[in-house]
Amino acid sequence: MRGCPQDAAYHAEGDVRAHVRMVCEALAGMEDWRRLPAGDREIVFAAALLHDAAKPSCTRHEDGRITSRGHSRRGAMLARRILWELGTDFAAREQVCGLVRYHQSPFHLINRADAQRLAFLISHNAGCGLLAILARADALGRQCSDQSSILERVALFEEYCREQDCLLTPRRFPSAHSRFLYFRSEGRDPNYLAYDDSRCQVTLLSGLPGSGKDTWVAEHLSGLPVVSLDAIRETLEAEPTGNQGAVIQAAREEARVLLREARDFAWNATNLSRDVRRQLIDLFADYGAQVRIVYVEANPARLFPQNRNREAAVPEEALQRMMERWEVPDSTEADEVEWWVNGERRSK
């Protein structure tokens, strides 16, 4: 971050490193942060350290101005990689990533048409109360002419989340299916108890190559049909890298047959990004399937050897690139989400 420039209109304090230092200093002096339990203090401080870590890879000069568009989402993925390599606790790591991902949202949420949906999403991924503390430190840790306006917007964000019953806890829904439908379509009443008319259940696996997805399927879904991209690649004699269009098309056709028959099955592939998962979830839900996501993770000491020992090992260079789009599924994406880390089920 040292030497990475920022737009002086918003960051007259200097480069990104100077800003991050000021944010951490501001946070350390805030009574709201000091009153937090020790674990929460660590989470928020880690998020303050990492919230702009992706700016060096996102910073561009456009029309005479400096922009770092996209650094929040990319920063969350970078934070995940750093903290995974450090062996950070899974739940704490993911909350840090959520705070990094949404650290700019309090500055703009109150004026957004989808303010309620975004506030609820943040409550399930970052914690709105912790995010308000981080955002206040982010505003104080800079030199700009509109600092008081930014702080006012953070206060409005905090008050809005309090009114929406999602400031201190994840927003509650009448049922898991109601939550899934609320986040899947616009304009739904969050208090409406949706009727679940699912015809079957699809288990969508997610995780890096070598994380243990095949082992999990063998242990927990024995006898269930499995749409496996690795198996299809073997049939088509396709490489695990490069254009996967034919492999994915064949997998979708296989899934449609099972969906039309209303049969439970598993879809086994990496499914690392939220966008990729959303496309598949749309397919399954359109056929009336209940969607369950199972995320499987291994620590670095397990992951790389397990990948090398697979029949269809992914080249390590490709695996490293996959980590650049690594997004862990969250509870808003499906009817049910499970997280399995090093063979043990975890909460998030």
**Residue stretches of the chain with pLDDT short of 50:** none
Q: What is the pLDDT of residue 64?
A: 84
Neighbours of 173 (CB within 10 A): 20
Domain locations in the chain?
Answer: 16-163, 200-346
307-332: pLDDT as tens digits = 998 877 888 999 999 999 999 999 99
Residue with tokens 């254009």: 243
Cα separation, 98 vs 335, in Å, equals: 20
Q: What is the pLDDT of residue 299?
A: 97
Of 271, 117, 153, nearest in space to 204 by CA: 271
Reduced to 3 states, what is the DSSP secondary structure of residue 322?
helix
197, burial (CB in 10 Å: exposed 0-12, middle 13-18, buried 19+): exposed
Q: Could you tell me the two tokens for 36?
A: 């937090």
DSSP letters, 113-135, are: TTHHHHHHHHHHHT-HHHHHHHH
| 164 backbone dihedrals φ, ψ, rounded to 5° | -90, 10
- Assign domain 200-346 one CATH number from 3.40.50.300, 3.40.50.970, 1.10.3720.10, 3.40.640.10: 3.40.50.300
Q: Enter the DSSP assignment of 36.
A: S
> What's the pTM value of the predicted model, to 2 decimals?
0.94
Chain-centroid distance, C-alpha 345: 18
Long-range contacts of 166-170 (CB under 8 A, 24+ apart): 166/119, 166/120, 166/122, 166/123, 166/128, 167/123, 167/128, 167/129, 167/132, 168/127, 168/128, 168/129, 169/123, 170/123, 170/124, 170/331
Residue with tokens 């086994």: 268
Chain-centroid distance, C-alpha 33: 24
Q: What is the pLDDT of residue 150?
A: 96
Which helix (H) or strand (E) element contains residue 73? helix 71-86
- Give every CB contact of residue 335 below 8 A, 6+ residues apart in sequence: 176, 177, 180, 196, 198, 290, 291, 292
- Kindly give the pairing relationship between strand 65-67 and strand 60-62: antiparallel
Is the separation of the CB atoms in 87 and 302 below 8 Å? no
Beta-bridged to residue 206, according to DSSP, are: 295
Q: What is the pLDDT of residue 239?
A: 76
Q: Could you tell me the two tokens for 40?
A: 């929460």
86-108: pLDDT as tens digits = 999 999 999 999 999 999 999 99
